[in-house]
Structure 1
Amino acid sequence: MASTDIATQELKNPIDVTEYLFRRLREVGIRSVHGVPGDYNLAALDYLPGCDLNWVGNCNELNAGYAADGYARVNGISAIVTTFGVGELSALNAIAGSYSEFVPVVHIVGQPTTQSQRDGMLLHHTLGNGDFDVFNKMSSAISCYVARLNDPHDAATLIDSAIRECWIRSRPVYITLPTDIVAAKVNGDRLKTPIDLSLPKNDPEKEDYVVDVVLKYLHAAKNPIILVDACAIRHRVLEEVQDLVEKSGLPTFVTPMGKGAINETHKNFGGVYAGNGSNPGVSEAVEASDLILSIGAIKSDFNTTGFTYRIGQLNTIDFHSTYVRVRYSEYPDTNMKGVLRKVVQRMKSLTPGPIPPLTNRLSDGERASTDQTITHNWLWPIVGQWLREKDVIITETGTANFGIWDTRFPANVTAISQVLWGSIGYSMGACQGAALAAKEQKNRRTILFIGDGSIQLTVQELSTILRNKLNPIVFVICNEGYTIERYIHGWDAKYNDIQPWDYANIPKAFGAKENYQGYRIKTRDELNKLFADQEFNSSDKLRLVELYMPRDDAPAGLKLTAEAAAKRNG
Structure 2
Amino acid sequence: MAADLRSQAIQNPIDIAEYLFKRLQQVGVRSIHGLPGDYNLVALDYIAKVGLNWVGNCNELNAGYAADGYARVNGISAIVTTFGVGELSAVNAIAGAYSEYVPIVHIVGYPSTTAQKDGMLLHHTLGNGDFNVFSNMSRQISCAVSMINHQHEAATLIDNAIRECYLQSRPVYISLPTDMVQKKVDGDRLKTPLDLTFAPNEVEKEDYVVDVVLKYLHAARNPVILVDACAIRHRALDETHEFIKKTGIPTFVAPMGKGAVDETLPNYGGVYAGDGSNAGVRERVESADLVISIGPIKSDFNTAGFSYRISQLNTIDFHSYAVRVRYSEYPGVRMNGVLRKVTEKIGKLNIESGPNPTNEIPDEEIKSPEPTITQAWFWPRLGQWLEKGDIIITETGTANFGIWETRFPAEVKAISQVLWGSIGYATGACQGAALAAKELGIKRTILFTGDGSFQLTAQEVSTMLRNDLNPIIFVICNNGYTIERFIHGWEDKYNDVQEWKYRDLPAAFGARPDQYKTYRVDSKGGVEKLFRDEEFAGAGTKKLRFVELVMRWDDAPKALMSTTESTARRNAEN
Once the two structures are superposed, residues 308-346 of structure 1 have per-residue CA deviations (whole angstroms, 9 ceiling, x without a partner) of 000000000000000110000001111111111111111
User: Structure 1 CA distance, aligned partners of 2:408 and 2:536?
Assistant: 20
* 1:186 counterpart residue number: 185
User: Structure 1 CA distance, aligned partners of 2:3 and 2:376?
Assistant: 68
> How far apart are residue 199 of structure 1 and its match?
0.3
Alignment of 1:291-306 (within 5 A): 291-306=290-305
Q: What root-mean-square deviation, in Å, do the aligned CA atoms of Structure 1 and Structure 2 show?
A: 0.8
139-148 or 438-447: bigger deviation? 438-447
Once the two structures are superposed, residues 292-321 of structure 1 have per-residue CA deviations (whole angstroms, 9 ceiling, x without a partner) of 000000000000000000000000000000
> How far apart are residue 5 of structure 1 and its match?
4.0
1:395 partnered with 2:394? yes
Alignment of 1:153-168 (within 5 A): 153-168=152-167
Amino acid at match of 1:197: L
Instruction: Give aligned pairs, total.
Output: 569
Query: Could you tell me which of 558, 562, 565 is aligned with 1:563?
Result: 565
Query: With structure 1 as the length reference, what TM-score do the two structures score?
Result: 0.99
Amino acid at match of 2:517: Q
* 2:101 counterpart residue number: 102
User: Structure 2 CA distance, aligned partners of 1:519 and 1:369?
Assistant: 25
2:28 and 2:74 in contact (8 A); partners too: yes
> How far apart are residue 7 of structure 1 and its match?
2.3
* 1:535 counterpart residue number: 535
* 1:89 counterpart residue number: 88
1:44 and 1:182 in contact (8 A); partners too: yes
> How far apart are residue 226 of structure 1 and its match?
0.5
User: Structure 2 CA distance, aligned partners of 1:443 and 1:242?
Assistant: 21
* 2:328 counterpart residue number: 329
Gaps of 5+ in 2: none
> How far apart are residue 4 of structure 1 and its match?
4.5
User: Structure 1 CA distance, aligned partners of 2:153 and 2:359?
Assistant: 56
Amino acid at match of 2:93: A
* 2:452 counterpart residue number: 453
User: Structure 2 CA distance, aligned partners of 1:286 and 1:434?
Assistant: 33
1:520 partnered with 2:520? yes
User: Structure 2 CA distance, aligned partners of 1:26 and 1:480?
Assistant: 43
Alignment of 1:445-524 (within 5 A): 445-513=444-512, 514-524=514-524
* 2:549 counterpart residue number: 547
Once the two structures are superposed, residues 407-464 of structure 1 have per-residue CA deviations (whole angstroms, 9 ceiling, x without a partner) of 0000000000000000000000000000000000113200000000000000000000
1:350 partnered with 2:349? yes
> How far apart are residue 268 of structure 1 and its match?
0.8
2:267 and 2:353 in contact (8 A); partners too: no
Once the two structures are superposed, residues 24-81 of structure 1 have per-residue CA deviations (whole angstroms, 9 ceiling, x without a partner) of 0000000000000000000000001111110000000000000000000000000000
> How far apart are residue 361 of structure 1 and its match?
1.1
User: Structure 2 CA distance, aligned partners of 1:84 and 1:293?
Assistant: 45
> How far apart are residue 366 of structure 1 and its match?
1.7
1:219 and 1:348 in contact (8 A); partners too: no
> How far apart are residue 370 of structure 1 and its match?
2.2
2:224 and 2:250 in contact (8 A); partners too: yes
User: Structure 1 CA distance, aligned partners of 2:294 and 2:341?
Assistant: 15
Aligned residue for 1:155, secondary structure, equals helix
90-99 or 45-54: bigger deviation? 45-54
Once the two structures are superposed, residues 522-570 of structure 1 have per-residue CA deviations (whole angstroms, 9 ceiling, x without a partner) of 1111111011110111221111100000000000010111110001110
User: Structure 2 CA distance, aligned partners of 1:35 and 1:447?
Assistant: 23
User: Structure 2 CA distance, aligned partners of 1:114 and 1:430?
Assistant: 34
Alignment of 1:4-403 (within 5 A): 4-403=3-402
> How far apart are residue 365 of structure 1 and its match?
2.1
Amino acid at match of 2:326: R
Once the two structures are superposed, residues 161-214 of structure 1 have per-residue CA deviations (whole angstroms, 9 ceiling, x without a partner) of 111100100000000000000011111111010000000111111111111111
Amino acid at match of 1:532: R
Aligned residue for 1:239, secondary structure, equals helix
User: Structure 2 CA distance, aligned partners of 1:245 and 1:354?
Assistant: 13
Structure 1 runs (4+) greater than 6 angstroms displaced:
none
User: Structure 1 CA distance, aligned partners of 2:21 and 2:6?
Assistant: 22
Aligned residue for 1:547, secondary structure, equals strand
2:293 and 2:317 in contact (8 A); partners too: yes
2:398 and 2:483 in contact (8 A); partners too: yes
2:521 and 2:548 in contact (8 A); partners too: yes
1:231 and 1:298 in contact (8 A); partners too: yes
User: Structure 2 CA distance, aligned partners of 1:559 and 1:361?
Assistant: 21
User: Structure 2 CA distance, aligned partners of 1:300 and 1:61?
Assistant: 27
2:227 and 2:253 in contact (8 A); partners too: yes
535-544 or 230-239: bigger deviation? 535-544
1:450 and 1:476 in contact (8 A); partners too: yes
> How far apart are residue 3 of structure 1 and its match?
5.0
> How far apart are residue 6 of structure 1 and its match?
2.8
Amino acid at match of 1:490: G
Amino acid at match of 2:470: N
User: Structure 2 CA distance, aligned partners of 1:338 and 1:118?
Assistant: 48
Amino acid at match of 1:560: S
Amino acid at match of 1:549: M
1:465 and 1:471 in contact (8 A); partners too: yes
475-484 or 5-14: bigger deviation? 5-14
User: Structure 1 CA distance, aligned partners of 2:402 and 2:222?
Assistant: 29
Once the two structures are superposed, residues 481-529 of structure 1 have per-residue CA deviations (whole angstroms, 9 ceiling, x without a partner) of 0000000000011100110000000111110122011111011111110
1:228 and 1:255 in contact (8 A); partners too: yes
User: Structure 2 CA distance, aligned partners of 1:443 and 1:252?
Assistant: 27
Query: With structure 2 as the length reference, what TM-score do the two structures score?
Result: 0.98
* 2:439 counterpart residue number: 440
2:230 and 2:294 in contact (8 A); partners too: yes
1:251 and 1:268 in contact (8 A); partners too: yes
User: Structure 2 CA distance, aligned partners of 1:553 and 1:507?
Assistant: 28
User: Structure 2 CA distance, aligned partners of 1:493 and 1:363?
Assistant: 32
Aligned residue for 2:33, secondary structure, equals strand
Once the two structures are superposed, residues 81-120 of structure 1 have per-residue CA deviations (whole angstroms, 9 ceiling, x without a partner) of 0000000000000000000000000000000000100111
1:215 and 1:343 in contact (8 A); partners too: yes
Q: Percent identity?
A: 67
User: Structure 2 CA distance, aligned partners of 1:367 and 1:494?
Assistant: 35
496-505 or 535-544: bigger deviation? 535-544
Amino acid at match of 1:417: S
2:470 and 2:544 in contact (8 A); partners too: yes
Once the two structures are superposed, residues 356-408 of structure 1 have per-residue CA deviations (whole angstroms, 9 ceiling, x without a partner) of 02100112222222221000000000110010000000000000000000000
1:232 and 1:295 in contact (8 A); partners too: yes
258-267 or 509-518: bigger deviation? 509-518
Aligned residue for 1:474, secondary structure, equals strand
* 1:427 counterpart residue number: 426
User: Structure 1 CA distance, aligned partners of 2:303 and 2:178?
Assistant: 47
User: Structure 1 CA distance, aligned partners of 2:421 and 2:356?
Assistant: 31
User: Structure 2 CA distance, aligned partners of 1:277 and 1:432?
Assistant: 30
